[in-house]
Structure 1
C-alpha cells in the first residue's frame, strides 16, 4: 500500500515537473517571440526614422539656395501690367562682404544687436529649442538661424519651418566657422526698403563703404536687420536711432572703445545721405514698394529678377500729373502741402499710386502705410451690416441724440430728425445712425466685421471707432469701399502680379492668386449699397459715365478725403500736412474732388461706358483669380495713325 502511494506521489511529482518544464519552455518561447517582435518593430522604427530623416534632409536641401554672385549685385527689372519696362533697379543686394577689411569694432556692433552669445552656442539657443517644442511660431533668435532662414528659396513661417531652420543652423555650425556664418549674416540680412546686407545699405543710406561706417551708423543698420518692419531707418529714422543707442549702451568698453566714447556716440544722430532725384519722380514710391514686396515674397537672391506689377504706366503718369497740377494750383495755396492717391481695379490690383507731392526717400508712402483719420470714409461699415440684415435702403432708423456707451454723438449740422430712411442718414453724414446701428448689432460684431471686410489698421473698443475715431490707411478704405464692386468679397490689394528669375529653367517665384475670402455682402445688400451710394454723390462732380463719389473731412481739419469709383476703377485721394496741422481752407467736395475728377476723367478714357452693377457682373463672370483682366474691354481712344 505504502509503495503504491509512494509511486503515485512520484508520478504526480513527475507530471507536475513535466508540466512546469512545458510551461517554462512556452514562456521562454513567448519571451523569444516578443524579443523578435520588439527587434523587428525597433528595426522598422529605425528604418522609418532613417528614411524620414533622409526624406526630411532631401526636402530641406531642395528648398535651399547657397549660390552667391560675388562679381556684382543682382538686378531687379520692374515692368507694368503688360510687360513694358518701367525701370531696372541695381545695387540693393550686398555681395562679397570681407571680414578682413570690415573692422572688428563694427562686427561687434552687429553681434551685440543680434546675438550677444553668438560665439558661445552651436547654432540655436535653449529658448529656440523650447519655442519650437512648444509650437510657438516666432522665428529663431540666433545669427546662425537667421542665416539659415536666408538660404531658403522662399520665405516661410511656422513651427515646422522653424524646426527646419534649426536643423540647417546646426548643419551650418558643424560645417563652417563662425566668421563664415557672420559674413553670410552681414551679406544677406534684410535692412528694409528692398535692401539686403551692409555693403548695399551703407552705400544707399550713408554713401560710404561699409568698412568706413561709424559705430552709430553700424548700430542703426544692426537694429534694422533685427526688425526691418519697425526700424527701417528710411521710414523710422528716430526710432532706429534710439534703438541703436540702446545697442551701444550695452556694448562693453575695451581698449578701442572707452565709456566716454560710447556716451559721445549715443549723442550723435547719424545723418542719412540724401539721394539724388531719380528720373522716375513720384513713381519712385511705386518702385520702393515693389522692392519691399519682392524682399518679402522672395527674400535674398543671387539671381537677376523680372517683376511684373499691376501698375498701368499711362495711369501712373496721369496720377502724377493730376497730383502735381492740383497741388500747385489749388492745394498748396490753401495750406495743404501733401496729397496721396491710390487707384485700384475692383479686384484689388493697384493701377496707380502717388505717395506724396514730391518723392522723398526718408518719408513714408502716404498712399500705402500712413494712417489718417477717416471720418465719413469709414461710416459705411455699419450700413453694410444693417443692409445684410435688411436689404432695404429705405428702412427707418432713429436719428436722435442719445447717450450710447458713455458717449452722446453729435451730427455735423447739429440737427436731429427723428426717424429717417437709412439712405438719407448716409447722405447727410450723420453720426447718430452709425452709432445706433453699432449699438444694435454689437460693437464686437462690428469690429469683427470690419476686420473681415479689409480694415487692417487696429480699431479700438470704443463705439466712436465707427465714425472715424481710429486712423486708417488708404488701402483700408479702398478694401472697404470696393466690397460691392467685387461681388461682396473684400479684395486683396496687391502691387505685384508675378516674380520670376531671369535664369533659364527657373520656376516662377511668385504669382498673384486671389485668395478665397468669405462673401461679406449678400447680393441683395450689394444692390442696396449701390442705390444708397448713388444718393450721396455730389452733383457738382461730374464724369462722362456712371460713378459714385463722396468726400470727408476728419482729424479736426487735418485730413481731407475724396473717394469714388466707376465700373472699372476705384480711386481714393487724401490731402493734408505731414505735421498734422489743419488745412481748414481745403474743401473735400471742391479742391480734393477736383484732383479725383481730373485723374478719373483721363483714366476712364477708352473704357466702355457701363453701369457699376453691369461692370461688376461681367467682371465676376470673366475673372479666374489669376489672370490680370485689366483693359480687357478697353479701346485706345487715341490709336496710332496707320501709314
Structure 2
C-alpha cells in the first residue's frame, strides 16, 4: 500500500515536472518571439528614422550653397523692365575675412553683441531648442545658427527652417573650429543697404579697411548686424550709435574695457565717412532699394546676379528732371528743400522713384520709407468704407462740429453746413465728415479696413488715424489711391520683377508673382470713387488725357502733396523739409501740382488716350495690371540685357 502511494506520488511529481518543463519551454518561446518582434519593431523604427534622417539631410543639403568665389566680390547687374542695364554694383559682399589681421579686441565686440556664450555652446542654446520645440518662428540666437542661416540659398523663416538651421549649426560645430565659424559670421552677416560682412561695410561706411576700425565703429556694425532694418547707421545714425554704446558698456561688464575707456568711446552719432554719391545721382535711391531687396530675397551669395526691376528708365529720367527743375525754380525759393516722387502702374510695379532733390548716402529714401503727415491724402479712407456700404456719392452725411471720442474737429474754412453730400464733403476737405463716418462705423473697423487697404505705417488708436495726423509713407498713399484702378484690390507695390544667377542656365532665384487677394472695394464703390474724385480734380491742372488729381497740405504746413492718375499710371508727389519746418508759401494746387503735371505730361506719352473707367474695365477683362505700353516693350519674358552705359 505504501509502495503504491509512493509510486503514485512519484508519477504525479514526474507529470508535474513534465508539465512545468513544457510551460517553461512555451514561455521561453513566447519570450523569444516577443524579443524577435521587439527587435523587428526597433529595427523598423530605426530604419524609418534613418530614412527620415537621410531624406532630411538630402533636403537640407539641396538647399545649401557652400560655393565660394574668394578672388572677388560678386557683381549685381541691375536693369530696368526692358533689360536695359542701369548699373553694375560691386563690392557689397565681403570676401575672405582674416582673423589673423583682424584685431582680437574688434572680434570681441561682435561676439559680445551677438552671442556672449559663443565659445561655450555647441551651436545652439537651450533657448533655441525650447523655441523650436514650442513652434516659435523666431530665428536662432547663436552666431553658429546665424552662419547656418546664411548658407541656405533661399532665405525663409518659421519653425521648420529653424530646425534645419539648428541641425546645420550642430554640423558646423562638429566640422569646424570656432574661429572658422566666427570668420564666416563676420564675412556673411547682413549689415543693411545691401551690404554683407565687415570688410565691405567698413569700406563703404567708414572708408577704411576692417582692421582699422575704431571700437565704436565696430560696435555700430555689430548693432546693425543684430537689426539691419532699424540700426542701419546710414539711415538711423543716432539709434545705431546708441546701440553701439550699449554694446561697449557690456564689454566693460565683462572686464574687457574699463569704465574710463568706455566713456571715452561713447558717441552720439557714428564716425561715418561714406563713399560719395555716385554719378547716377537720384537714381541711386532706386539702386540702394534694389540692393536691400536683393539681400532679403537672395541672402549672401558668391555668385554674380542679374536683377530685372520694374523701373522704366525713360520715366525715371523724366521724374528726376521734373523734381530737379521744379525744386530749383519754384520749391526752394518758397522754403521747401526736399521733394519726393513715386510713380507706379495700376498693379503696383514701381516705374519711377525719386527719394530727394539730391542723393545723399546718409539719408533715408523720402519716397519709400519716410513717414509724412498726409492730411487729406488719407482722409479718403472712411469715404471708401461709406461707399462700400452705400455706393452713392451724393448720399447725405453730417457736417457738424461736435466732440467725438475726445476730438472736436475743425474744418479748414471754419464753416459747418449741417448735412452735405459725400462728394462735396471730400471736395471741401472737411475734417468733420471723416470723424463722423469713423464714429458711425467704428474706429476698430476703420483701422482693420486701413490694414486691408495696405497701409503699413503705424496708426494711432484714436481719430488721428482718419484725419491725417499719423505719418505715412508714399507707398501707403499709393496703395490707398489706386484701389479703383486695380479692380478694388490693394496692389503689392514692388520694385523687382526677377532675380537670376549668372551661373549656367541662369537659374531663377526670385520672380514677382501677383498674389490672389480679396476686393477691398466693391464694383459699385469703385464707380462711386471715380465719380467723387472727378469732382475734386482741379481743372487748372491740365493733361492731354482724362485724369484724376488733387492736392493737400498737412502737418501745419510742413507737408504738401499732390497725387493723381491716368488710366495707366499713378504718381504721388511730396514736398517739405527734413526737419519738419513749415513751408507756408508752398501751395499744393500750384507748385506741387506743377511738379506732378510736368512729370505726368512727359510720362504719359506712348500710352493710348482713354478714360480712367475704360482703362480699369480693360484691365479687369484681361486680368492684367500691366499697361499696353509696357506690354509692347516686354515681348520676351527673358530679354538679353543691353548695356547703354559706356
User: Structure 2 length normalisation: TM-score?
Assistant: 0.93
Cα distance, 1:19–1:415 mapped onto 2, change above 3 Å: farther
Q: 1:545-591: per-residue Cα shift (whole Å, max 9, x none)?
A: 11110111111111111100000000000000000001111111111
Q: 1:388 to 1:627 in 2, by over 3 A?
A: closer
Mark the CA change 1:637 to 1:73 in structure 2 (over 3 Å): closer, same or farther: closer
* Alignment partners' CA distance in 2, 1:256 and 1:432: 61
Q: 1:4 to 1:474 in 2, by over 3 A?
A: farther
Q: Report if aligned partners of 1:186, 1:198 keep a CA contact under 8 Å in 2.
A: yes
Question: Does the Cα contact within 8 Å between 1:513 and 1:625 map onto a contact in 2?
Answer: no
Query: What per-residue deviation string (whole Å, max 9, x for no partner) do you get for residues 423-481 of structure 1?
Result: 11111111111111111111111111100111001111102311112110000000011
When structure 1 is superposed on structure 2, of 349-358 and 463-472 the one drifting more is 463-472
Point out which structure has higher relative CO (alpha carbons under 8 A, 6+ apart).
2
Deviations 1:582-606 (A, max 9, x none): 1111111111111000000000011
Point out where structure 2 has 5 or more consecutive residues left out of the alignment. none
Go from structure 1 to structure 2 and tell me whether the alpha carbon gap of 1:267 and 1:342 turns closer, same or farther (over 3 Å shift): closer
Distance apart, 1:626 and its partner CA: 9.6
Tell me, in whole angstroms, the C-alpha distance in 2 between the residues paired with 1:531 and 1:638.
Answer: 40
CA distance in 2, matches of 1:636, 1:55: 38
Mean CA deviation greater in 409-418 or 588-597:
409-418
- What's the offset of the Cα at 1:131? 1.0
Question: Secondary structure of the residue that 2:140 maps to in structure 1?
Answer: coil
Distance in 2, matches of 1:10 and 1:539, equals 126
Query: Conserved in 2, the CA contact under 8 Å of 1:512 and 1:626?
Result: no
Aligned to 1:316: 316
| Cα distance, 1:550–1:456 mapped onto 2, change above 3 Å | same
Decide whether aligned partners of structure 1 residues 190 and 84 sit closer, same or farther in structure 2, where only a CA change above 3 A counts.
Answer: same
Q: Cα distance 1:155–1:627, how it changes in 2: closer, same or farther (>3 A)?
A: farther
Aligned residue number for residue 539 of structure 1: 539
- TM-score under structure 1 length normalisation: 0.94
2:615 corresponds to which residue? 615
Structure 1 residues 270 and 446: CA distance shift in structure 2, 3 A? closer
Instruction: Check conservation: 2:81, 2:634, Cα contact below 8 A.
Output: no
Q: Is the 8 A contact 1:606 1:637 kept in 2?
A: no
Give the superposition deviation at 1:639: 21
Gaps of 5+ in 1: none
517 and 22 in structure 1: CA distance in 2 versus 1, 3 angstrom threshold: farther
| 1:159–1:552 Cα change, 3 Å | same
Query: Does the residue aligned with 2:201 lie in a helix, a strand or coil?
Result: helix
Instruction: Give me the CA root mean square deviation.
Output: 3.6
- Worse-superposed segment, 22-31 or 575-584: 22-31
Q: State the distance in 2 between where 1:617 and 1:23 align.
A: 88
Separation in structure 2 between the aligned mates of residue 579 and residue 542 of structure 1, nearest angstrom: 33
Q: Cα 1:76–1:479, aligned 2, differ >3 Å: closer, same or farther?
A: same
Alpha-carbon spacing, 1:354–1:67, altered in 2? closer, same or farther (3 Å): same
Cα displacement string for residues 244-271 of structure 1 (whole angstroms, at most 9, x for unaligned residues): 1111111148999544222211148542
Aligned to 2:145: 145
Q: Does the 8 Å CA contact 2:215/2:265 hold for their aligned counterparts?
A: yes
Alpha-carbon deviation of 1:615? 0.8
Q: Assess if the C-alpha contact under 8 Å between 2:543 and 2:597 holds in 1.
A: yes
Aligned length: 642
Q: Is the 8 A contact 1:64 1:151 kept in 2?
A: yes
Distance in 2 (alpha carbons) for counterparts of 1:443 and 1:18: 90
Moved more, 79-88 or 626-635: 626-635
CA contact (8 A) 1:411 1:432 kept: yes
Question: Could you tell me whether the CA contact under 8 Å between 1:607 and 1:631 is conserved in 2?
Answer: no
Question: Structure 1 residues 457, 269: closer, same or farther in 2, change over 3 A?
Answer: closer
Residues 192-239 of structure 1, C-alpha deviations (whole Å, 9 max, x = no match): 000111111111111111111111111111111111001101101111
1:517-538 residue CA offsets vs partner (Å, 9 max, x unmatched): 2111111111111111111111
SS of the residue aligned with 1:230? coil
